[in-house]
Structure 1
Amino acid sequence: MHRVRAVNTPSMPRLAAASLAGTAIEFYDFFVYGTAAALVLGQLFFPTFSPVAGTLAAFGTFGVGFLARPLGSMLFGHLGDRRGRRPVLVVSLLLTGASTVAVGCVPSYGTIGVAAPVLLLVLRFLQGLGLGGEWGGAVLLTAEHAPAQRRALWASFPQMGPALGFVLANGVVLALSTALSDAEFARWGWRVPFWAAGALALAGLWLRSSLAESPRFLEIDDHARVPLVEVVRHHGRLVLLTAGALAVGYAVFYAVTTWSLAYATERLGVSRTVMLVCVMGAVVVQGALTPVAALFGDRYGRRPMCLTGCAACVLWMLPMVALLATGEPLLMFLAILGALLAFVIMFAVIAAYLPELYEPRVRCTGAAVGYNLGGVLGGALTPVVATALAQQGGRVPWGVGVYLTAVAVVSLVCFALLPETRPVPVPAVEPVRS
């Protein structure tokens, strides 16, 4: 383990709040698409398909965003390692916000034909490109300012952004779906959350305009000329292990927040409002517990927390699908809550863990590429695979549970092969007494 002297860093609450707000806005943009894909995009952009095939196609465009995220992490990681963490936050937010607003303006298949899903695909790719850069910039700026002994706590604030963004995205969708008829929601209501992304992006840019550059970046004398090449050459095994380790978090999160919406509303006949409330309630609890889990990470280590959360996923996935299949709101809520509690035990400390695994000169690229490759492995295919598996067999989608359990086992092995990185305090030197 590394021995690091603690540093006193001013304005950590302000810095953490700005990182949290920006990350929440970026993930709002990303999640509002996933919710729309589960509820309406299939019928609007793939109307010639059957309902199930349309949902699969919509989730396919959802997955394109994950495929773009590693490319975004390479592009913005290069910028972050060469020019600083702060510029990444501005450019990535602009790209994601603009592409999200544009999604809300794309005419449906009935208006412009095949051009509609093609435009959807391109804009989803741009969303993923921006988000691929966002996480590395926001996390590193916070983690590299933070005192060593509280790094997991302060770095967990950007990790609360996905929960806040999800609740915000789904809250807007829930309000609109409650206030509008199904026909109105399908005709224009689903577009409003995408348009709102423009105002949110401007607010995020204002919050980030006065953030100071990372002190760790300013200390680097020999910047990597091509960070990606150096990461692949010297840290390739580490990137693959972190990607495999993080796959379970993505798989679990998107199974319960995206696939479960489509499964419950289309297969079980649960109302859209009830399902959104169940998922949002569980995500609120997950977000609130993120800094608590991070405190345990500062005290007991990053790796033990990740192993514990991953093992909990292995044990919970089969009970989770059994509870979901009941169609009872309380049991469905408990199923989702249990999965997200296992998720947060791992992901609360990841924002400190991944940067600590890489040397500062390639940290933005290495941490972001590993994080976003995990998204491809665990998040891109999960809604599609789960939707297909849920069509097989009886009422309980056991195939989905087996698939998620298998992903969790692979991630558990990867976490077991990673080292611990929690900084060890340097003992104070006692003055010599004469």
Structure 2
Amino acid sequence: MGLVQQPPSAGAEPTTILERAQNLPAKTPKKAALASFLGSTLEYYDFFIYGTAAALIFPKIFFPGGDPVVALLGAMATFGVGYLARPLGGIVMSHFGDKLGRKQALMITLVIMGVASIGIGFLPTYGQIGYWATALLLVGRLAQGFSAGAEAAGASTLTMEHSPEGRRGFFTSFVMTGYASGMVLSTIVFIPLAALPEDQLLSWGWRVPFWMSAVVLLVAYWIRTRLDETPVFEEVKAADVAYSAPAARVLKTQWRDVLRVSVVMLFSVMQTTFTVYALAYATGKGIGLDRTLMLSVNAITVGLSMFTIPVAGLVSDRIGRKKVLLVGAAGCAVSSFGYFWAISEHNIPMIFLFGFLNMSLFYSCWNGVWTVFFPEMFPAPVRYSGMAIGSQVGLILTGFAPAIATLLAQPGPDGWMPVAWFTVICMGLSAIAIATARETHKTPLEELGLPRSKGTRQTTRRAD
């Protein structure tokens, strides 16, 4: 298992690798994948209901009347503000995840996300208490962002460390299968509510999806209480090689990998542009497509990725992480033009076709691989911190992508072109960072994150 040995203290009995191995918990990849799937389902259910509400509801009830474009921009900005809290959540909770355990950190993030989302459903509106309503919405969104900043990195690290060699990509892909299930759940809840009369939708209908977060929260919490800590973390704890400040350590020793993760993460600009900005663009006055139709497009195309994401993870176990990611980046860049063109032409069949190519096929190459690609860059004592800090800093631009797209869009039938080029630039930068990374799909767990020049099975010493 690649156990880490420490020199015994004076007078102490030597601790052998075999004795430590016998005391470690067994790997449970299926249970870890299920726990991560449910936690990710809650995170992305809340993500999508907030994004949908920001596109369709919040401009009308949390901002003053007047210019609808300004109100939409304000709502998109509150969506992006949650991403500003993600790096803080990643730093704080990954510290505890690397020191106290992956499981304990994930239990805390799960509760924060659930409580914040349920609380948003009880907020008064701008018409009731003025700007205090907008401020409270920001607080709830910041709490969501703080939790989300640690959830994906922790779930990915936990599942990857529970996975058998040669199948890490497949099992860890279920973290983002929860992304697809969260999208489907949110849309199943929102579609009938979107058909309500406007006054009912704006008064109570929009609150129902946020209240229903409680159901996913309870199920995910129950599953996680029954999950063991990962053997590799128990090994680090037993060997007493945990760092007092994992974040500082990883930024000192692997700052290039942390930076690389941040740049690679620009890939996810495609997601918020597709699911949030394109929804607002398609249903706005300029285009005027039915909101139920566009919600269905999102639900079907993202829902189908529940099947393609595990396939991408499985393929990455065979041919490598980088090849799958690069194919996805190229495909997303090209298909984004087709998707916006189809929306501008009101061409429903082509909207579904390019939506399928973009989200169901090529974006699944990303979602099926990044959750294993990132933690494989770092050794166990700083794995959670390295992935969390890098990914959440990179996600800041992702959070503000809908607001940036709103500013970039121009009037007229081809007004979407600057938005499409914006996504292409992000895909290109991500692809460069992917291409320069180390391939890790065949690297043994105990050798992940080690310098190339140091070989394998090194003795790790406590540095502070």
The TM tier, using the shorter chain, reads over 0.9
Aligned to 1:414: 433
Supply the distance in 2 between the matched residues of 1:425 and 1:211 (Cα, whole angstroms). 24
Aligned to 2:462: none
Cα 1:261/1:219, change in 2 over 3 Å: same
Aligned to 2:65: 48
CA contact (8 A) 2:106 2:155 kept: yes
Q: What is the SS of the residue equivalent to 1:149?
A: coil
1:151 aligns with 2:171: no
Please list the CA deviations of residues 259-298 of structure 1 after superposition, one character each: whole Å capped at 9, or x if unmatched: 1111111131111111101111100112210111111100
Supply the distance in 1 between the matched residues of 2:48 and 2:340 (Cα, whole angstroms). 22
Supply the distance in 2 between the matched residues of 1:189 and 1:395 (Cα, whole angstroms). 35
Cα 1:425/1:36, change in 2 over 3 Å: closer
Supply the distance in 2 between the matched residues of 1:362 and 1:15 (Cα, whole angstroms). 20
> Once the 2 structures are TM-superposed, how far is the Cα of residue 374 of structure 1 from its aligned partner?
2.2
Q: In the alignment, which of 263, 278, 283 is matched to residue 265 of structure 1?
A: 283
Supply the distance in 2 between the matched residues of 1:127 and 1:75 (Cα, whole angstroms). 14
Supply the distance in 2 between the matched residues of 1:338 and 1:271 (Cα, whole angstroms). 22
Aligned counterparts, 1:19-98, within 5 A: 19-98=36-115
Supply the distance in 1 between the matched residues of 2:307 and 2:211 (Cα, whole angstroms). 28
> Once the 2 structures are TM-superposed, how far is the Cα of residue 308 of structure 1 from its aligned partner?
1.6
1:355 aligns with 2:372: no
Please list the CA deviations of residues 373-405 of structure 1 after superposition, one character each: whole Å capped at 9, or x if unmatched: 22113x112101112222345345111111111
> Once the 2 structures are TM-superposed, how far is the Cα of residue 11 of structure 1 from its aligned partner?
4.0
CA contact (8 A) 2:31 2:227 kept: no
Aligned to 1:212: 228
Q: In the alignment, which of 329, 332, 342 is matched to residue 310 of structure 1?
A: 329
Cα 1:425/1:198, change in 2 over 3 Å: closer
Aligned counterparts, 1:21-420, within 5 A: 21-178=38-195, 180-220=196-236, 221=239, 222-248=241-267, 250-266=268-284, 267-340=286-359, 341-377=361-397, 379-420=398-439
Unpaired runs of 5+ in structure 1? Answer: 427-434
Supply the distance in 2 between the matched residues of 1:391 and 1:119 (Cα, whole angstroms). 32
CA contact (8 A) 1:321 1:396 kept: no
Supply the distance in 1 between the matched residues of 2:63 and 2:444 (Cα, whole angstroms). 57
Supply the distance in 1 between the matched residues of 2:66 and 2:227 (Cα, whole angstroms). 48
CA contact (8 A) 2:328 2:363 kept: yes
CA contact (8 A) 2:114 2:214 kept: yes
CA contact (8 A) 1:308 1:346 kept: no
Supply the distance in 2 between the matched residues of 1:301 and 1:199 (Cα, whole angstroms). 37
Q: What is the SS of the residue equivalent to 1:66?
A: helix
Please list the CA deviations of residues 34-86 of structure 1 after superposition, one character each: whole Å capped at 9, or x if unmatched: 11001010011113341111111001000011111111110110010000000
Supply the distance in 2 between the matched residues of 1:392 and 1:219 (Cα, whole angstroms). 59
State the structure with more CA Rg.
2
The one-letter code of the counterpart of 1:374 is G
When the two chains are superposed, the root-mean-square deviation of aligned CA atoms in Å is: 1.8
Supply the distance in 1 between the matched residues of 2:147 and 2:47 (Cα, whole angstroms). 10
Supply the distance in 1 between the matched residues of 2:410 and 2:130 (Cα, whole angstroms). 29
Please list the CA deviations of residues 290-344 of structure 1 after superposition, one character each: whole Å capped at 9, or x if unmatched: 1111111000011111122112223333233212212222211222222212211
CA contact (8 A) 1:8 1:147 kept: no
Q: Normalized against structure 1, the TM-score is what?
A: 0.93
Aligned residues, how many?
418
> Once the 2 structures are TM-superposed, how far is the Cα of residue 408 of structure 1 from its aligned partner?
1.0
> Once the 2 structures are TM-superposed, how far is the Cα of residue 363 of structure 1 from its aligned partner?
0.3
CA contact (8 A) 2:325 2:365 kept: yes
Cα 1:395/1:310, change in 2 over 3 Å: closer
Q: Comparing 334-343 with 141-150, which one deviates more in the overlay?
A: 334-343
Supply the distance in 1 between the matched residues of 2:247 and 2:298 (Cα, whole angstroms). 37
Supply the distance in 2 between the matched residues of 1:280 and 1:126 (Cα, whole angstroms). 26
The one-letter code of the counterpart of 2:78 is T
> Once the 2 structures are TM-superposed, how far is the Cα of residue 137 of structure 1 from its aligned partner?
1.7
Cα 1:231/1:182, change in 2 over 3 Å: same
The one-letter code of the counterpart of 2:189 is V
Supply the distance in 2 between the matched residues of 1:228 and 1:16 (Cα, whole angstroms). 26
Supply the distance in 1 between the matched residues of 2:410 and 2:92 (Cα, whole angstroms). 38
Supply the distance in 1 between the matched residues of 2:411 and 2:401 (Cα, whole angstroms). 16
